[in-house]
Copies of this chain bind each other. A is one copy, B any other.
C-alpha cells in the first residue's frame, strides 16, 4: 500500500474534524491561504485537499466565499430508485384535472401555517423593491402608456425580447429577438406550442412523474398523455421513449423539462439532450421543452437548453421569469422554430400582445446586470434552503424514506417507505395546518401516491423545521406495509 499523499493526509484531517462535529454543516473551511500557512503545504496541495473533499460531497465551493461543510448524508435517506424500463401505461387523459383541482381547491380553502406545496420561492427571495422601482420608472417615463394598445411590435416589447435573447445565451441558446414571442407565463407558451403541433385526440409523450400543470393542459386540449419513465437523476428515459414510439406510432409531440425537472429535480446530461434532439428530429416528432428552471442550478455553469442542439427548428423552447425573477408577473416566452408563424397567429388570436408595462420594467432591470446578481443570490439561498429541508427530513422522517438530491431548483421529491399514501397524508397535514403537494398530482396514474413534493422555497425557520417534524409524525402514523 503506497504512502498516503500529502493532500489526502490533509483531507483526512479535516474529514475527521467534520465527522467529530468540530466543523459542522454550514461552517466555513479555513481558506486555502490559511491551510497553506497552518499546515505548511503548497497552494497546490491545499487546493487538491479541498477539491478532494468537494468531490466526495463533504465540502462545497461557494463563489467568492470559499469552501463550506455540506450537510451529511443521513443514514435514513437512501437515494431515489431508478424507474423500471417497462413500457409506459397506455396513453390517457381522463381525470387528472378533477383530482388536481380538488386538491388545489381544498388547499386554498384551508388556513395553513406551513406551506410546503408552493411552486415559487418566498417573496423575500425576489428583488421586489427593485422591480417596483423599475415599474414606477417605466410608468413615469412612458406617459400615456396605459392609454395605448400593446407594445409597438405585436410579439412583445422590443427591449424585453432583446434582453431575453441575450439571456438565452447563458443556456447556450442563440436566438434573435425576432424569434421570441412574449406570453403569459410558460403556461401560455406550452399551450401555444401544443396547439401548434397537435390536434385533439393526439398522443403526447411526457415525463413520469411530471408537473401537474402540463397534465391539465393536455387534458384541456383533449390530448392524451403518454407517461415515459423518468430518472430522478437523468430525466426522461430515452430507451423507454424509443420503446414507446415503437408501440405507439402516433406520438405527435414530446414535452420535457430538461433541467431541474418538476417534481424530480433531474437534469438531463448533455449527451442525453443531444440524443433526444436528434432522435426527435429523425422521427419528425416536435420536441417541446419547458426551460423554466435552468437558471436555478447550484453551479455557476448554466444548464443547457435542448434548443442549443436544435439545427432544424424542431425544438420549441418555452420559458418564463416566474420562478427566477418575479412570481407576481406573468412574463413567459416561446421560441417556436419551424412553427413560429403558426404560434404567432395562435397567440394573437388567443390573447393579443402582453401588456407593455411589465416588459419595459423588466427589460431595464435585466439590462442593468441586476438580474445576474439576483440570480447568484437566489441560487445560494435555494441551495441552503434545500439543504436545511433535506436535513430536517433526514432527521425526522421514518427510516426507509428516500429523497431526491437535485443540483438546484425549488423542491425535493420524497418517497415514503411502506407504500404510505400521500393522499391520506395531504388531508391529515392540511388538518394540522401544513400544505404539501401529494405525489398523485404528478401522474394520470396513481403510481406516485407514496411520493410527495416538498417545496424548499420558504425561508427556513424554527417554525418550518417544527412543521416538517410534525409532518414526519403524520407520515409515521399512516397505515403502511413495512
Give A contacts to B, CB under 8 Å: 97, 101, 104, 108, 118-120, 122-126, 128-129, 131-132, 135-136, 139-140, 143-150, 153-154, 184-185, 187-188, 191, 195, 199-200, 213, 216-217, 219-220, 222, 322, 326-330, 345-346, 348-352, 354-358
A122 cross-chain contacts in B, Cβ below 8 A: 147
A351 cross-chain contacts in B, Cβ below 8 A: 184-185, 187-188, 191, 330, 351
Bound-state CA distance A348–B217 (Å) is 9
A123 cross-chain contacts in B, Cβ below 8 A: 144, 147-148
A104 cross-chain contacts in B, Cβ below 8 A: 154
Q: Is the CB of A330 within 8 A of B349?
A: no
Bound-state CA distance A143–B101 (Å) is 29
A345 cross-chain contacts in B, Cβ below 8 A: 97, 101, 216, 220
The number of times this chain is found in the oligomer is 2
Bound-state CA distance A481–B195 (Å) is 45
Q: Which residue of B is nearest A125, CB measured?
A: B147
A154 cross-chain contacts in B, Cβ below 8 A: 104, 108
A153 cross-chain contacts in B, Cβ below 8 A: 108
Q: Is the CB of B147 within 8 A of A128?
A: yes
Bound-state CA distance A326–B148 (Å) is 7
Bound-state CA distance A322–B147 (Å) is 9
Which of B101, B191, B328 has a CB less than 8 Å from the CB of A350?
B191
Chain A residues touching B, majority SS: helix
With contacts A150-B328, A220-B350, A328-B356 known, what are 16 further pairs, Cβ within 8 A? A120-B149, A124-B147, A125-B147, A145-B328, A148-B327, A149-B322, A187-B351, A187-B352, A188-B350, A191-B349, A191-B350, A191-B351, A220-B346, A328-B357, A329-B355, A330-B354
Q: Which residue of B is nearest A192, CB measured?
A: B350
Bound-state CA distance A200–B330 (Å) is 28
A187 cross-chain contacts in B, Cβ below 8 A: 349-352
Which of B139, B216, B349 has a CB less than 8 Å from the CB of A132?
B139
Q: Is the CB of B330 within 8 A of A352?
A: yes
Greatest chain B CB density within 10 A among A97, A148, A329, A350 is at A350
Q: Which residue of B is nearest A325, CB measured?
A: B146
A322 cross-chain contacts in B, Cβ below 8 A: 149
> Would A326 and B146 be within 8 Å (CB), given that A199-B200, A349-B216 are in contact?
yes
Bound-state CA distance A135–B139 (Å) is 9
> Would A132 and B143 be within 8 Å (CB), given that A149-B328, A351-B185, A351-B188 are in contact?
yes
- A436 to chain B: closest CB distance in Å? 17
- A142 to chain B: closest CB distance in Å? 9
Q: Which residue of B is nearest A144, CB measured?
A: B123
- A370 to chain B: closest CB distance in Å? 14
Q: Is the CB of A144 within 8 A of B128?
A: yes
Q: Which residue of B is nearest A119, CB measured?
A: B149
- A479 to chain B: closest CB distance in Å? 32
27 example contacts (A-B, Cβ-Cβ < 8 A) are as follows: A97-B349, A101-B345, A101-B348, A104-B154, A119-B149, A120-B149, A123-B148, A125-B147, A128-B145, A132-B139, A132-B140, A136-B139, A148-B328, A149-B327, A150-B328, A185-B352, A187-B350, A187-B351, A187-B352, A195-B220, A199-B200, A217-B349, A220-B345, A220-B346, A220-B349, A330-B355, A351-B351
Q: Which residue of B is nearest A104, CB measured?
A: B154
A195 cross-chain contacts in B, Cβ below 8 A: 220
Q: Is the CB of B185 within 8 A of A327?
A: no
Bound-state CA distance A355–B147 (Å) is 18
A328 cross-chain contacts in B, Cβ below 8 A: 145-150, 355-357
Bound-state CA distance A166–B137 (Å) is 33
Q: Is the CB of B120 within 8 A of A132?
A: no
- A418 to chain B: closest CB distance in Å? 34
Bound-state CA distance A241–B145 (Å) is 42
Q: Which residue of B is nearest A132, CB measured?
A: B139
